[in-house]
Each structure stands twice: as C-alpha cells, then as structure tokens.
Structure 1
Amino acid sequence: HRARALDGPPAVLADDLAAAALDAHPAHTHPEPYRALERAAELTAPHDPAKAERLAAAARHAWVAGRPQVARSLLARLRSLTTPRELRAQVQLLHGSLELLGGETGSAREELLAAAAWFLESHRMLGVRALVRAADASYRAGDNRAFIAIARQAAALRRPDETDATQLMFEYLAGMASTFSGSHQEAAAPLRRVVELAGSVRDPAVLVWACVASMLLGEDASAHRLSARAVEAARVRGAVSAIPQLLEYMIYPEIWMGRYSSVATTAAQGLRLARETGQLNTAAQHLAWLAITAAVEGDQETCRARADAAIDLAGAHDLGIAGAIGTWALAHLDLATGRPADAANRLRAERRTNSHVVIRVMATPHFIEASARTGDREAAGAALRVLERWVGSTRSPGLRALVARCRALLAGPGEAEELFREALDLHGQGVYEFEAARTRLLYGSALRRDRRPGAARTHLHSALETFERYGARLWTEQARTELRASGEPVRPALDATTGQLTAQQLQIARMVAEGATNKEVAEQLFLSRRTVEHHLRNIFSRLGIRSRVELVRLMS
C-alpha cells in the first residue's frame, strides 16, 4: 500500500517491496509476488541493475503462478534494458520454458540449450535442468536424434559429486537415449536408477522423469504413484503452471492399465488448466488423450473432433507426440467400428512420418492387429519384433500378454490357441482388464471361425461383460455380433440407468437434468455447442421424449 501511494522515496519503497515479495510465503493473504515485483521494478530507476532483476523475477513468479501472458509481457519490457549475462541466461531459460509448453518446440530447444551452456558453469542444477527441458522439447517434437545428441552432451558433463536430483536427470537422459536407440536392455539400468533416486527428490519437475522411467520399465503402478507425488508437490508449492504438464504423465500409466474413466477426468482437468495458463502444447496432448477415451466409449463424433483439433495444434507447433496420440485415437476408432484396413493405413502412414517412439510402441498392438486382419503379415511381424525387444526388458505380465496376443494373431494353424491361452494366463497376473477383454474377443472370434462355438462363447461372454462395464459401446457390439454368429441369441444392448444411451450421452443427459445449459455442458466437456445440441437431439430421440422437463423427470 505504501508503494502504491508513493509514501516515501521511490528507491526505498522499491527495495522494501521487492524484499517483502521475495520473502513472502505464497499464502492466501499475500498478493501474488509477481505483482509486487512488477511494482518494485516500476519504482526502480532505469539505470539501476535491480530494475531488470526485478522484472525478470516478476516474470518467473508470473509463470509459476500460471500467468504465461503476463510473464511474456514482463520479459518483453526487459529488451530495452541493459542486462548482465547471467540475467540474460535466466531470461532464456524462462522464455524457453514458456515456448516449450505454449510455442514452437524447435525454438524452445534452442533457447534452453543456450541457457544450459551458461548455467552449467555457474549454476549446475539449473544448467542440467535446462538440458533436460531441451531434450523434452525434442521428445515432444518426436525428434529422437536431437534427444540422443543432447543426452550424449550431458554424459560428457557428469561429475562424481552430483546431487541426487542432478544424478536422476543425467540417468534419465541416458536411459531415454538408449530407449530411443532401441537398446532396451542397456536402458534398463539407468532407468531403474532414476526410480531409486526418486525417493530422495521433492522437486515435482524432477520427479516427473522418474514417472517416465517407471513406465518404460513396465511398472505402471509405480509410474502412477510417482506422477501423483509430483502433482501433489506442485500443488503444495503453488506451482500452477507445472500441473497441466504433470497431469500428462499421470495419463500414460492410466492408459496402459485401461483406467479410461480416470484418463477422461485427468485429461479434462489438464485441458482446462492448460487453456487457463496459455499452454497450447500441453492442451493439444490432453485433447488427444480425450480423443482416445471417446474412441473407447464409441463416441465417434467426439473422438474425431478432439483428434482433429489435437492434430491441427500438433502441426502448428511441431508436436509429434500430440499428433501421434490423435492418430492413434482415430485408428482405435477404426478398429472398434470394424475397419481394420483404415486403422492399418492410418498407423502405417503415421509410422512413416512421425518418429515418436513412445506412442508408436503404445499403438503397436493395434497396428499388429489391424495389419494381421488385413493380411499384411510382413509389416505386423516387423512391428512385433520391435515390441518384443522393449517388453523383454520389462517385468510386466500385462505387456507380455499383449506380445503373446500379437504372436497368436500371426501364428499358423494349430499354434494360435496355445498363444491365446498364454496371453490370458499373463493377463490374469496383471491389471490390464480392458486389454484382457480384447484378447478374449479375438480368441473367441478365432474359436468361432474354427467351428468351436461352445468354447468361443465362454470368452465372448467374458469380453462382453467387461466392455459393458466400461461403457465401450462399439466393442460391446462386436462381442454381441460374435456371440450371435456363434449361434447364441443375445439380449438387446442396454446401457446404464436409462437403458439406451452411450456413456457420453448419459453424461450430457445427467448434466442437463441437473440444470446445466448447453453452453455450460460444452465448456465442461470441451465440446462445441453444436455437438452438445446434436447429442441432446439424439438423447431425446432415443428416450422418446421432447423436452428438458421430461428429461429431468426421467433422470430423477
């Protein structure tokens, strides 16, 4: 208040205000530090070096608080000031971080590498962090060569006296570089070391790399725990800007474990926070994950809308990862609707143009299934060999089950049944329930084609039960079709409490029945108002009603 009222000499007020802002705990009763630091900079004389330092500090605090546009504006005001080299490096690190999550990934990488070159000599922890962020920019772009080059640069800089957090980041770069090179056995040791070091680390931005390491080791439950720790640590610190990206890494293990309702919740929260904090790159990835959940639910229109939006953002910002997930979502939908040729063509084209290894491997079981069903055994076999090399370096029964299933799809007469049984035995040891149902559907279909309808029905019934529980409408219909083909009459499909709605339609119906407007539903579910109106018309038609009043009465 004294600074606003100019109650004293400006220089003294600026010093007092800056000191108070930097000392203040980010508690509820204090104004956000960036506002105080910005005011302190305004009160500081242009020739005073403290003016630039306070503007830079204000920009950093604005970024942490989830105000990227404010941070960019404050950084822009630094251009007219003379700044020392160390401060310029700090500005490069911050600007590169802003670009990483909201701008062009190539620009982010160059700025972060420039910042790393300076800080590795003067502030080692910041320098290593800048290197890892530069590598992350390459990861998001799907530029494996650039990632490997950064990892090699980092390996030459290691010292025997590193802190645990710094060691973790070096081991992460080494393990990821080996993974991207296809040397999965070689990658296992540094990745396991990353997970071990995570126990002594509290920084959420460092913990997230341990989550990635766990996932690559096939330890999904551990990966999920580490990502949850990172999110909670960021919340405690008030690091709003970090949370949307941290939520991305919570989704990976949820996808592997088939926790699609959790994926939808996590991605919706991440998308909302990413949009609020101006992180378009992160928003693109959350949109793509939401396309995956829509594909699982069988909501074709929503899946395509979200996937197309993610792919468009990916193209504009050089985001190989978001584009790969969006394409995978569309291929998942192709398989669910019985179009394996379209799925195979889509994933084959993606593999030619996008080298994002992690998503390529995650989508490989779908690619092998689509290729096998369309007779392209050569492409399916080549993809299987890559999947086998990675899975062989893990201890995951769920992943080994997927490999056995893929082998069964490519097996000759008399060999497939044993491999399907092996896959189901392994599924029984893991937690991939949705994928176990997909294995049972494929096995049941194979038994039915082999004129063994009685044996087929056992697996098809089990698959049907799981798909119905997940609200996976298109996969449910596939299981019903196979049961009918096996000679068993199947009751009509009934979903949820209303008996006839898809999972997406039921969610919209409940929200409308609770009083939400079409605009409010669209905002909460990240759909267009036109899409919500389309869904609502279909809801009324399926339920045989004409008004919201009737919907309220029915839903109650």
Structure 2
Amino acid sequence: MPSVSPVIRSPALRGRDAEQDILRRLVDGARGRSGGAMVLLGAPGMGKSAMLDFAVDQAEGFVVLRTRGVEAEAALPCAGLHGLLRPVMDRLPALPAAQAEVLAGALELGATGGGLALPASVLNLLAAVGRPVLACVDDVHHLDAPSREALFFAARRLAGERIVLLFGARDDGPAPEGVPELRLGGLGEDACRRLADDLAPEGLGAELRASLIEIARGNPLALRELVGSLSAAQVTGAAAPPDTLPPGGRLWRAYADRLARLPAATGDLLLLLAADPDLDMASLVRAAEPACALTLLEPAERAGVIVSAPGDRHDFRDPAMGPVVYAEASSARRRAAHRLLASVLDHDHQRLRRAWHRAVSLDGPGERLADELAAAAAAGSHRGYPAPWLAFERAAELTARGDVKAARLAAAANRAWHAGLARRARSLLTRLCSLTVSEEVRGQAELIRGSLELRSGKTGSARDELLSAAGWLLDRDRGRAVRALLRASEASYLAGDNSRFLAIARQAAALRRPDDPAATQLMFEYLAGIAATFRGRHREAADPLRRVLEIAPSVRNPSVLVWAGVASLLLGDDVRALGLSTRAVEAARVRGAVSAVPQVLEFMIQTEIWVGRYASVAANAVEGLRLAQESGQLNSAGQHLAWLALTSAVEGDEETCRIRAGSAIELAGAHGLGVAGALGNWALAHLDLAAGRHAGAAKRLRATARTDGTNGHLVVRVMATPHLVEAAVRTGEHEQARAALRVLDRWVGSTRSPDRLALAARCHALLAAPGEAEERFRDALDLHHQGLCEFETARTQLLFGSVLRRNRRPGAAREHLHSALETFERSGARLWTEQARAELRGAGETVRSRGPKAAEKLTAQQFQIARIVADGATNREVAARLYLSPRTVEHHLRNIFAKLDIRSRVELVRLLS
C-alpha cells in the first residue's frame, strides 16, 4: 500500500467561507471521478497554507501528498517532484516501462529529457495510486521549472480522474494557463475581529484590538503576529500599542527578503513612498530627477510590491510593507528621504507635510522646526498624512521650553482623542506630569481628561474635572470654558442628577455676554432650554430651543448639529430632528471625528425610538456599540447596549433582552450612568408588558423615576410614561398613572407633535370611564394617522380592539386587531403578535401564522441564530455578530434543537433550506 502523508488539522479559518466551499466541492468531486486543480493566489500571510491544510482535512480516504517549493532548490531539476512523489514511488511498476524509466531518472538524477514523457508519467503515476489523491504544493513560485511544468501539465488533464492538485503561490507572479485560480484577499473587518478574539489574551480591550486590526489590514498572519507580540503593559494599556508589524517576525522577514531583491535605485523611491503615503506621482518624479521615476518603479510593480492608486499615486500592494521599507533603511537614508520630500512638497496645501518632513529629518534648529510644525498642525483641519496629533507630538519632542512642550502635548492628546485614540490621548497626557504646566494648559488638559472620563469613566469624576477645567479656562479661553461647563452638565445628565444639572445651567447663565460668538451663544441657549424643560417649564423652554435652531446653520460642528437635533426633538419636530442627527453623523465621519460618532448615534437612536424605526435603531446601536468599544468609550457602549436591549424587547426575545439590559445596568452601576440604567429597566419593562406581566412592568418603570443616580432618569421616565400608564392601569394603580400622565401632558401640550399627542390621548383613554374610553381611543388613532410611528399606532389599535371586544363589539374589534397584527408581524414583534392573535381569537376569529413552521416554534432571537448557524457559522461567529457570549449561543442552540426535534446542524440546514 502507498504511504499517506500525515493529516495536519488546520485552525479555524475566519472569513473564508466561500473559499472553503470551493475546495470542499473540489475534493468531493474527485471522489466521483471528477478531479480538478486550483491555484491559491495571495500575498504572504493571507492563509494559502491554512487553506491547503483545510483541503487536507476534507480529504478523508485520500492519499495525501504534500511538498513546498524551496528557493534554495529552485535550480535543482525535479527537486519538487522528488519531494511530492516519493511516498508513492512503490506504484512505479504500474506505469509503462518507458514512462517508469523516465520518471525514475528524473527523481534520482534530475534528468528531464524534454517532451511529454516526464509530465505524462507524473499524471499516470498519480492515477495509478489506486485511491483518490490530493496533492498539495505550497510556494509553487519557488519550485524548479521542470517540476512546475510537469505538475501544471497534469493539472490541466484531471477530468475523469480521482485526483485533486492544489498549488499555493504568491499573487505577484504569473499564474499557469488553463488552471483555475482562487485569489485570497484581505479579511473583512468582521472576520478580523473574530480572529483577534480567537487569538487574544485575557483582557485585550476592543480599542487595542481595533488598533491591531488597522495595522494588519486584513492579513491573518499579521494579526496573529501582532497579538503574539503584545507585552503585558500593552495589553493593560500602560504602554502604547504597536505601530507596525513585529520586526523580525515571519511576515516582516518575508517582506524584507522580497524588497532586498529589488535594485537599489528602486528601493530609494520606495523609501520615499514609505515616508509619505500621500505622495503623488508628480512629486515623486520631481524627487527622482534626473532619473526617470516611472522606469525605476517598474521592478517594484513587476514584483507586486506597489500598485497604481487613485489620485495619480502608487500604494504598497500590502500596506504593512511600507513600515518594513522604512524600518529596514538606515537612519541616514531615512533623513535624506525626508529632506528630499520637504524640498518638493512646496505648495500651500502641503504645508503640514512639508513641516513634518523637515522636523523628522532635523533639517534646521529644533525649536524653529517645532514652531513651524505646530503652526501647520494648528492651521485648520487636515485629513491624511501625517495625523495632526502625530505632528503635535513630534513638535513637542523638538521643544525644549517646558510650558510650550506641555501645550503641544496637550494639543496632541486633544487631537488623538477626537480621532478615537483614547489610549494614545491618555499616554500623551501622562507625559505632562513631569513638565512645567501653565494654568491655561492645565485647564486644557483637565478638559481632555474630563472628556475621556465622561466617555469611559465615572460621571461624578468627569463632572468635577470638567468644572475644574472651566474654572481654569474662564479668563483665558472663554469658548472652551463654556464647552467644559456644557460637558459637565452632560455628565450630570448621564447620571440622571437633575439638581446638579440645573446648578451648572445657572452657573453658565451668569456668564452670558451679549457679544459672545455664535457658537458660544448656541451653547448658552441650549443649556437654558434643557434646564427649563427639566423644570417642567416647557413653554419657557421653547424660545431658547428655537434660537438654537436659528443659530445652528451658522456653526459647522457635529456636536452643534446634535444639540439642534435635541432641540427639535423637545419641540416635537421629529422629521427635523432625524435630518439634523443624520447630518451630524455624516459630519463627524467626514471630519474624521471618530470619538464623536457613537455619541451622535445615541441621539439619532433616541429620535428613531420616537418614530418607531426599530430596525434602524438596532443597526445604528450595533454600529455605535462597536465604535464605542473600539474607541474605549464604555459609557456610550452602555447606552447602545440598552438600546439594543429595547429592540430585543420589541422583538420578544426575552433572553437576549435580559442579557443586554443586564450588561447596561451593570455598566450604569459601575460608572454612575442613570440614563443607561433607566433605559435598561425600560427595556425589561417593555418585555414584561409584551408578555402580560403588568406588575413587573410597573415595578421596573417606577425605578426610572429615581433621583439617586441609580437607574433613574427624567427623560427616560417621560419617554416610558405610556408603558407605565398601561401597566399601572392593569394593576389598579390609577393615581400613579395619573401622576405620570400629568408630567407627559405638560410636555406634549407644548410640542404639537401628533405622535406624542396620540400617546397622551391613548393614556387618557386607558384611564377614562367606560363610556368615554372609545371616543378617546378614536382621538388617539386620528392623531396617530397624522404622525410617523406605525408601531405605536398598532399598540393603540391593540388596546382599542381589546376594549371593544370586552364591550361585546367583536366586529369592530377585529378591524383594529387585524391592522395591529399586520404591523406586529411586519416588525417581527413576536410577543405583541401573540397578544394580537389572542385578542382576535377572543373576538371569535381563528388566526394562523404566516411564517415558516420552524419560526413558529422559536423565539425571534432563536430563529435568527438558527438562520446564521444554518449558513455555516460557528457559535463564536454567531456570538460576535449578535453581541452575545458563546455560552449563550450554545444555550440557545440546545433549545433550538429541542424545540425543532433535531440533533445536528446538518438537520437544521435541511429544515431551514
């Protein structure tokens, strides 16, 4: 019997589902005498070897042959064939004598002889093995020419054979004609996150993970090596994360070896591209004179090192190669490259880049270079290379004066924070401790620290630091001082501490001046309007809120657009609020204000809740949660978790709702987040109400009225009032319902919003005497039909239909109940759908489900998990996609199998296909 190579089990492959399917079909086809071949093309580290391992794993019952091209043996004729075919040479007697002689001579002596004899004998030997054969050749670009030609000859003639030939090759070389190709590109962001989670040590935060993913650029080996290179200090955040691939690692060495083969003049141009990733062709040509840059770049293009890019530029084919080019050059060569770049980047719009290159090359006195770089970094917004925070950091490094150095480090920290680099911002602020710091810089640093604490720490600490910063800045930078006060008020808002919020608003009002610029006036008006709203003086609040909307068009800033959106929401103009919050998200993204996006999404979601756009709420909350985690904003993550809990409650997914709400409430307790805790309680109350647990809902909603900063919040209490009234009426607590409704009425009456007026009218209908209730419900529905929220319209129809049924008017009840049922089914609201069906059955009508039979037996979350699993996802992949734990997914899957009376994933695929 022929010997079989050992089967190497490959690790889990992330983001390669389609490629795995192709290889699986290829191997299965060979079992039925439909053999074939495939060339796997990809850059170093993209997973070609792992895919070959996967194919081996699928080849049960096959004879597996493997070899790898070795550059040192590329000049040895037939060395590759020798490595691949030795295990089956005992089948040589099965060949015609002439072919056996040729093949033996090739493997023993390296004799090729030319013609068809050698390639034909290779094909016939593989066919003579007597069992299906999988032959894998990795690094085929290093194989000797006779071996490569013979194997490609065989690969084109496998129809009707039980043979699979797989080749792994770099994507920069010529592929064989007539052999199908499978190109392995970079992994997607979701796959990178899942792979990082597989590899990560305990305690790897989302922010650090995102930094590693950005460096790896979709290369799985790069991500593996980056995670493996982390120090304990980097994992905990005490040290800055890596900036490049680990020097000396396998991927680094592969890139360095590849670059070493290029001509020296080509290497000089590549160094320019590495030193300035934004370098355009015109500047490169000027730098290369008198040589021709296009000619010198040709070797790098042929080797697949660089590719053409938009904007008349060249990029490294693999972005991770640029830092290797830069680091492998000597210090003198790097400085010369920067000086040359500074001399050719002489346009006004290239001011920051020019100053950067001069500062890095030390082309002049350090202090002068630092002043030039800091001035360029401060001159307006800049997108591209270098990042402004990096420019300020370099300027600080070149500055000897302690106070100026401190100011530049503070500016670097501020820019890093806005770019979503919280760890980097904290690291830069830490360096201030050893410097002489002026009161103004101290105030700026406290403002940044307070902002970081506001997004990721305790709200009480954030408020105190921001108030301190406002005091330091007031006589030096009035605009920043007012902004610090506004953020301090936001800390009190997040905590649900209305008394502290109102105190800060009074402090701010005393600082107003008639000559304040528009942005500062807007902040004062915003605080005045919110403060009046919190006091219940809604008509008094209307004027400053309208002035916010009047001033907003003259100020371009995502935060200003958010404040204007909140003003619109409080005035009851949901359409305008949606438009403003959408513009705020777009503005934050365009400006590269990564840290602002999760916060802006919070306010967009709040508007979407009012109009019942729960599918959009879920999508935005998932994105907001991811961005908040990756930028280290735990407080924002808490709110997004709570919004996701609310969407789970709407869907009727009890287990997921409890997990998400519990996480939000836990974060709220640790960080003093009254708003996140109140939202989590509201989500659980919505779930109780949908399931008919009215006493539980009433108890949870009472918690949102707390004023001690634990899971209570005025805004959430008002938003949840319709649920509280419904639950309280069902449990006989009419006075509590009336008290809550009086607060809602005062606000709703000032807004003229049909959606809000409809909710108030519904609450009055629930509290009305039997003879009056029907008229109140009709008023509510008339208002609903003028508004935007279909979901709350359906909730009112359900309640009205229930009243009509109890009043023995089943025909009239069915009309409203049918309409409610259609909306609930369309929204995927399982528990509300069940309530509507139960009411219809009570009204004398038989109701059948419109969904698939499997869906009837599962909760919304279970059905979603079942569909994802049926598509081939693992438990960890499902968990990553749905923000659950793998253990929770496993628990769900056991329940799914039990409910559907199945035992395996294969049966699940068949059932749902």
In the alignment, which residue of structure 1 is the partner of 2:720?
363
Instruction: Show the 5 A alignment for 1:113-192.
Output: 113-192=467-546
Q: Which structure has the larger Rg?
A: 2
CA drift of 1:521 comes to 2.1
Partner of 2:298: none
User: Is the CA contact 1:471–1:502 (under 8 Å) kept in the aligned structure 2?
Assistant: no
Q: Is the 8 A contact 1:464 1:476 kept in 2?
A: yes
Residue number in structure 1 paired with 2:263: none
Shift of residue 10, structure 1, vs aligned partner: 5.2
Instruction: Give the aligned partner of residue 424 of structure 2.
Output: 70
User: Structure 1 CA distance, aligned partners of 2:750 and 2:545?
Assistant: 11
2:787 maps to which of 426, 430, 438: 430
Residue 204 of structure 1 aligns with which residue?
558
Alignment match of 2:703 (pick from 349, 357, 365): 349
Q: Which moved more, 1:394-403 or 1:487-496?
A: 487-496
- Aligned partner of 1:402 in structure 2 is 759
Say if 1:155 and 1:5 are closer, same or farther in 2 by CA, change over 3 A. Answer: closer
Match of residue 334, structure 1, among 688, 697, 703: 688
Q: Match for residue 440 of structure 1?
A: 797
TM-superposed CA distance for 1:160, in Å, is 1.6
CA distance in 2, matches of 1:166, 1:543: 61
Matched, 1:384 2:741: yes
Q: How far, CA to CA, are the matches of 1:512 and 1:40 in structure 2?
A: 52
CA contact (8 A) 1:102 1:281 kept: yes
* C-alpha distance 540-71 of structure 1, shift in aligned 2 (>3 A): same
Specify the alignment match of 2:193 in structure 1: none
Cα drift, residue 32 of structure 1: 2.9
Greater percentage in helix: 1
Q: d(CA) in 1 for partners of 2:381 and 2:724? A: 51
Provide the residue aligned with 2:397 in structure 1: 42
Letter of the structure 2 residue corresponding to residue 115 of structure 1? A
Distance 1:214 1:75 in 2: 37
Q: Find the counterpart in structure 2 of residue 523 from structure 1.
A: 880
Are 1:56 and 2:404 an aligned pair? Answer: no
Question: What is the match of residue 656 of structure 2?
Answer: 302
Q: How far is the alpha carbon of 1:388 from its aligned partner? A: 0.6
Q: So what's the TM-score if we normalise by structure 2?
A: 0.58
**Counterpart residue number, 2:437:** 83
**1:55 to 1:437, Cα distance in 2 relative to 1, 3 A:** same
* Aligned amino acid, residue 559 of structure 2: A
TM-score by length of 1: 0.94
The alignment yields a C-alpha RMSD, in angstroms, of 2.2
Matches within 5 A, 1:488-503: 488-492=845-849, 494=851, 501-503=858-860
Per-residue Cα deviation, 1:491-550 (whole angstroms, up to 9, x for no partner): 146269966554433433443344433212212221111122233334445555544445
- Which stretches in structure 1 are left out of the alignment for 5+ residues? none
Residue 468 (structure 1) aligned with residue 822 (structure 2) = no
Q: Distance in 1 between matches of 2:855 and 2:770?
A: 45
Distance 1:497 1:374 in 2: 35
Give the match for residue 595 of structure 2: 241
Candidates 350, 371, 387, aligned match of 1:32: 387
Q: Give the number of equivalent residue pairs.
A: 554
> Would you say the 8 A contact 1:494–1:500 is kept in 2?
no
Q: Secondary structure at the match of 1:286?
A: helix
SS in 1 for 2:595: helix
* 8 Å CA contact 2:525, 2:544 repeated in 1: yes
The answer to which of 486-495 and 239-248 deviates more is 486-495
Q: Which amino acid aligns with 1:418?
A: E
Question: What is the CA–CA distance in structure 2 between the aligned matches of 1:73 and 1:518, rounded to whole Å?
Answer: 37
Q: Which residue of 2 aligns with 1:263?
A: 617
The yes-or-no answer on 1:291 pairing with 2:645 is yes
CA distance in 1, matches of 2:378, 2:519: 24
CA contact (8 A) 1:174 1:190 kept: yes
AA matched with 2:799: L
SS at match of 2:797: helix
Distance in 2 (CA, whole Å) between partners of 1:284 and 1:106 is: 16
Worse-superposed segment, 519-528 or 300-309: 519-528
Q: Distance in 2 between matches of 1:492 and 1:413?
A: 33
- Which moved further from structure 2: 8-17 or 75-84? 8-17
SS at structure 1 position matched to 2:420: coil
Q: Supply the distance in 2 between the matched residues of 1:431 and 1:65 (Cα, whole angstroms).
A: 36
Q: Could you tell me how far apart the structure 2 residues matched to 1:549 and 1:98 are?
A: 48
| Residues 471 and 495, structure 1, Cα contact 8 Å, conserved in 2 | no
1:493/1:500 contact within 8 Å kept: no
Percent sequence identity is 69
Is residue 402–residue 435 contact of structure 2 (8 Å, CA) maintained in 1?
no
Summarize deviations over 1:65-108 as a string: whole Å, max 9, x none: 11112111211111111111111111011111111111111111
- Deviation per residue, 1:34-62 (Å, 9 max, x gap): 234334433443x5433212211221121
Residues 44 and 51 in structure 1, CA contact (< 8 A), matched pair in contact too = yes
**CA distance in 1: counterparts of 2:364 and 2:419, whole angstroms:** 30
Q: Tell which has more relative contact order, 1 or 2 (C-alpha 8 A, sep 6+).
A: 1
Match of 1:483 among 840, 854, 876: 840
- Distance (Å, rounded) in 1 between the aligned partners of 2:379 and 2:874: 45
What is the identity, as a one-letter code, of the residue corresponding to 1:151? A
CA distance in 1, matches of 2:480, 2:381: 22
1:547–1:139 CA distance, 2 compared to 1 (3 A): same
How far does residue 555 in structure 1 lie from its aligned partner after superposition? 5.0
| Paired residues of 1:135 and 1:147 also in contact (CA < 8 A) | yes
Q: Is the 8 A contact 2:784 2:793 kept in 1?
A: yes
Instruction: Kindly provide the CA deviation profile for residues 366-392 of structure 1, in whole angstroms up to 9, marking residues without a partner as x.
Output: 000000011011101111111111100
CA spacing shift, 1:517–1:188, aligned 2, 3 Å: same
Aligned to 1:251: 605
- Is 2:555 aligned against 1:213? no
From the two aligned structures, give the one with the greater strand fraction. 2
More displaced stretch, 35-44 vs 299-308: 35-44
Kept in 2: contact 1:304–1:330 (CA 8 A): yes
Q: 1:234·1:243 contact (CA, 8 Å) conserved in 2?
A: yes
Asked if 1 retains the 8 angstrom alpha-carbon contact of 2:602 and 2:624, the reply is: yes
Distance 2:756 2:852 in 1: 30
Cα offset for 1:146? Answer: 1.1
The question of whether the paired residues in 2 share the 8 Å contact of 1:21 and 1:33 is answered with: yes
Residue 497 to residue 14, structure 1, CA distance change in 2 (3 Å) = farther
Query: Match of 1:455?
Result: 812
Letter in 2 for 1:41: A
- Contact 2:814–2:843 (CA under 8 A) maintained in structure 1: yes
Gaps of 5+ in 2: 1-333, 336-358
CA 1:500–1:200: 2 relative to 1, 3 Å: farther
Amino acid at match of 2:601: L
Give the drift of 1:5: 7.0
* Counterpart contact for 2:704–2:716, Cα < 8 Å: no
* Structure 2: distance between partners of 1:263 and 1:42: 45
Find the aligned partners of 1:11 and 1:175 in 2 and give their Cα distance. Answer: 48
Separation in 2, partners of 1:509, 1:23:
54
Partners of 1:310 and 1:273 lie apart in 2 by: 16
TM superposition shift of 1:15: 4.8
